[in-house]
Amino acid sequence: MSFDWSEYLNLAQELAGQATMPATQEAKLRSAISRAYYAAFCKARNHLRDKERLAIPSGGKAHLYVRDQFKNSLDSSRKRIGHNLDRLRIDRNKVDYDDSVTGLFSMTNADLRLAKRVISVLGSL
Protein backbone atom coordinates (compact mmCIF):
# COMPACT_ATOMS: atom_id res chain seq x y z
CA MET A 1 0.00 0.00 0.00
CA SER A 2 1.20 3.49 -0.79
CA PHE A 3 2.09 5.90 2.01
CA ASP A 4 -0.29 8.80 2.54
CA TRP A 5 2.15 11.70 2.61
CA SER A 6 -0.34 13.93 4.42
CA GLU A 7 0.36 11.74 7.47
CA TYR A 8 3.56 13.76 7.86
CA LEU A 9 1.41 16.81 8.50
CA ASN A 10 -0.50 14.89 11.18
CA LEU A 11 2.83 13.96 12.76
CA ALA A 12 4.11 17.53 12.55
CA GLN A 13 0.96 18.77 14.25
CA GLU A 14 1.28 16.06 16.90
CA LEU A 15 4.90 17.05 17.58
CA ALA A 16 3.90 20.70 17.80
CA GLY A 17 1.10 19.90 20.24
CA GLN A 18 -1.55 20.87 17.68
CA ALA A 19 -2.81 17.43 16.70
CA THR A 20 -6.40 17.01 15.69
CA MET A 21 -5.74 13.33 15.02
CA PRO A 22 -2.75 11.11 15.88
CA ALA A 23 -0.17 10.30 13.24
CA THR A 24 0.03 6.77 11.87
CA GLN A 25 2.72 4.38 13.01
CA GLU A 26 4.16 4.41 9.48
CA ALA A 27 4.66 8.18 9.60
CA LYS A 28 6.37 7.84 12.97
CA LEU A 29 8.68 5.05 11.81
CA ARG A 30 9.60 6.90 8.62
CA SER A 31 10.38 10.01 10.64
CA ALA A 32 12.42 8.01 13.16
CA ILE A 33 14.64 6.69 10.36
CA SER A 34 15.07 10.15 8.88
CA ARG A 35 15.90 11.72 12.26
CA ALA A 36 18.33 8.90 13.12
CA TYR A 37 20.23 9.59 9.90
CA TYR A 38 20.42 13.31 10.57
CA ALA A 39 21.52 12.76 14.18
CA ALA A 40 24.45 10.60 13.02
CA PHE A 41 25.26 12.75 9.98
CA CYS A 42 25.30 16.06 11.88
CA LYS A 43 27.41 14.61 14.71
CA ALA A 44 29.89 13.29 12.11
CA ARG A 45 29.88 16.59 10.20
CA ASN A 46 30.45 18.59 13.36
CA HIS A 47 33.25 16.25 14.44
CA LEU A 48 35.07 16.87 11.17
CA ARG A 49 34.43 20.61 11.35
CA ASP A 50 35.12 21.22 15.03
CA LYS A 51 37.68 18.58 16.03
CA GLU A 52 39.52 18.07 12.76
CA ARG A 53 39.08 21.64 11.47
CA LEU A 54 37.96 20.54 8.02
CA ALA A 55 35.96 22.89 5.81
CA ILE A 56 32.67 21.16 5.10
CA PRO A 57 30.96 21.97 1.78
CA SER A 58 27.58 23.59 2.08
CA GLY A 59 24.29 22.09 1.02
CA GLY A 60 23.81 18.58 -0.26
CA LYS A 61 27.49 18.13 -1.08
CA ALA A 62 28.23 17.88 2.63
CA HIS A 63 26.62 14.44 2.85
CA LEU A 64 28.97 12.74 0.40
CA TYR A 65 31.98 14.68 1.69
CA VAL A 66 31.38 13.62 5.30
CA ARG A 67 30.80 9.97 4.38
CA ASP A 68 33.92 9.92 2.20
CA GLN A 69 36.09 11.48 4.89
CA PHE A 70 35.29 8.53 7.11
CA LYS A 71 35.11 5.78 4.46
CA ASN A 72 38.50 6.71 2.97
CA SER A 73 40.28 6.57 6.32
CA LEU A 74 42.82 3.88 7.10
CA ASP A 75 41.30 3.52 10.58
CA SER A 76 38.72 0.72 10.74
CA SER A 77 36.48 2.56 13.23
CA ARG A 78 36.33 5.59 10.97
CA LYS A 79 35.64 3.40 7.92
CA ARG A 80 32.74 1.80 9.80
CA ILE A 81 31.30 5.25 10.53
CA GLY A 82 31.38 6.04 6.81
CA HIS A 83 29.72 2.78 5.85
CA ASN A 84 27.09 3.17 8.56
CA LEU A 85 26.34 6.68 7.32
CA ASP A 86 25.93 5.20 3.82
CA ARG A 87 23.41 2.64 5.06
CA LEU A 88 21.50 5.26 7.04
CA ARG A 89 21.40 7.61 4.06
CA ILE A 90 20.08 4.90 1.73
CA ASP A 91 17.28 4.09 4.16
CA ARG A 92 16.52 7.77 4.78
CA ASN A 93 16.11 8.31 1.05
CA LYS A 94 13.74 5.34 0.85
CA VAL A 95 11.47 6.57 3.63
CA ASP A 96 11.56 10.18 2.47
CA TYR A 97 10.81 9.50 -1.20
CA ASP A 98 9.37 6.02 -1.82
CA ASP A 99 5.60 5.52 -1.67
CA SER A 100 6.05 1.98 -0.32
CA VAL A 101 8.78 0.67 1.96
CA THR A 102 8.87 -2.98 3.01
CA GLY A 103 10.27 -4.09 6.35
CA LEU A 104 9.81 -0.66 7.89
CA PHE A 105 9.74 -1.85 11.51
CA SER A 106 12.97 -3.88 11.25
CA MET A 107 14.60 -1.10 9.21
CA THR A 108 13.77 1.38 11.96
CA ASN A 109 15.28 -0.83 14.66
CA ALA A 110 18.43 -1.44 12.62
CA ASP A 111 18.87 2.24 11.77
CA LEU A 112 18.41 3.34 15.36
CA ARG A 113 21.16 0.91 16.38
CA LEU A 114 23.43 2.13 13.56
CA ALA A 115 22.93 5.79 14.48
CA LYS A 116 23.70 5.05 18.14
CA ARG A 117 26.83 3.20 17.08
CA VAL A 118 28.02 6.08 14.89
CA ILE A 119 27.48 8.61 17.68
CA SER A 120 29.17 6.36 20.23
CA VAL A 121 32.27 5.80 18.09
CA LEU A 122 32.47 9.51 17.26
CA GLY A 123 32.56 10.18 21.00
CA SER A 124 35.65 8.00 21.35
CA LEU A 125 37.64 9.54 18.48
Give pLDDT, residue 4: 84
Alpha carbon 33 to chain centroid distance?
A: 6
* Residue 70 confidence (pLDDT) above 90: yes
Whether the model pTM is above 0.85: yes
Closest CA to 37 of 79, 96, 80, 77: 96
Give pLDDT, residue 8: 87
* Residue 21 confidence (pLDDT) above 80: no
Closest CA to 8 of 112, 99, 91, 106: 99
Give pLDDT, residue 90: 97
Q: Where are the domains of the chain?
A: 25-124
* Residue 117 confidence (pLDDT) above 80: yes
